[in-house]
A = this chain, B = another copy of it.
Amino acid sequence: MIKIVLLGAGNVATHLYKGFKNASNIEVVQWYNRSKKAIEAYKNDVNITDNISDLVDADVYLIAVNDDAIEALTNSLPFEKRLVVHTSGSASLYDIDMKHYRGVFYPLQTFSKGVDLDFTTVPICIETLRKKDFKILEILGQSLGCTTYKVNPKQRPALHLAAVFVNNFTNQIYRIAHEITEKHGAEFDILKPLITETARKVQEVSPYMAQTGPAKRNDKKTIKRHLKLLDNPHQEDIYKLMTESIKKTHGR
């Protein structure tokens, strides 16, 4: 049984709490948040607190707070030489106060509020300084049903950056497609199967191999027609830059 104290009450913390509750060999012994109100709904299920000096003993102190708050929070913990890990993709392991055994437990997935998460679709990127801490976090991840990956301080920020591309930037591309369809009175819904298939394809072949379309073919006529259709200069900039990018990749 791995005993956990969870710190933070955001989206990630809440999803992890629910995951841990369903895992047979994990016990959340306490849930801390600076404001008790955010976790009050769970007070009958778990020991909740807003007092940092009340923290109980645990195998792992799991910190799911804003990146900027990690350093101060870990510094304020009233103990040392225990395993304290954050869940950020971006913050350094060294943001955790050096009095602790330090680690990172980064779930590389997008979390939607109110939607139950299928943890089997959540890869966990683990970074630790000590081998035995890695083992604990690995078991923690596997108990949730996640696939775990050992990453180093160079790989994790790169994965976080790449995640911004495939998640935020892709989603913004969808958004612009939505704007285009709306503007011309067409249904965005018609694009949904294509969105699904585009994501499915790269599960099997590389994005390089999966590419098709006017930019790859350097089909100047279609590109010109598309640019004419876009009367929004910002959308035009994106069309041009992405088209250039595809041409560059495919040697056009």
Contact = CB atoms under 8 A, between A and B. Distances in A.
B112 A229 contact: no
B190 A125 contact: yes
B186 A159 contact: yes
B202 A199 contact: no
SS of A interface (majority): helix
A180 B162 contact: yes
Interface string A166-197: 11111111111110110111111011111111
Contacts of A201: 110, 112, 171
A116 interface: no
Contact of A207 (B154, B156, B175, B187): B175
Nearest to A158: B184
Contacts of A246: 168-169, 172
Contacts of A195: 166, 170, 199, 202-203
A202 to B, nearest CB: 5
Contacts of A207: 171-172, 174-175, 177-178
User: Chain copies in the assembly?
Assistant: 2
A237 B159 CA distance: 19
A162 to B, nearest CB: 4
A248 interface: yes
A197 B199 CA distance: 9
Nearest to A214: B164
Interface string A184-225: 111110111111111111110111101111111000011001
Contact of A155 (B168, B185, B216): B185
A208 B156 CA distance: 27
Contacts of A121: 193, 196-197
24 contacts: A67-B222, A68-B221, A121-B193, A149-B190, A157-B229, A158-B180, A158-B184, A159-B184, A161-B226, A163-B194, A165-B173, A165-B174, A165-B180, A166-B173, A167-B194, A168-B212, A170-B170, A170-B199, A171-B210, A171-B211, A173-B242, A174-B210, A178-B208, A196-B200
Given A149-B187, A164-B215, A195-B202, 20 more contacts: A110-B201, A121-B193, A121-B196, A149-B190, A155-B184, A157-B229, A158-B181, A159-B184, A165-B177, A166-B191, A167-B198, A168-B212, A168-B214, A169-B239, A170-B195, A173-B242, A174-B202, A175-B207, A175-B208, A195-B203
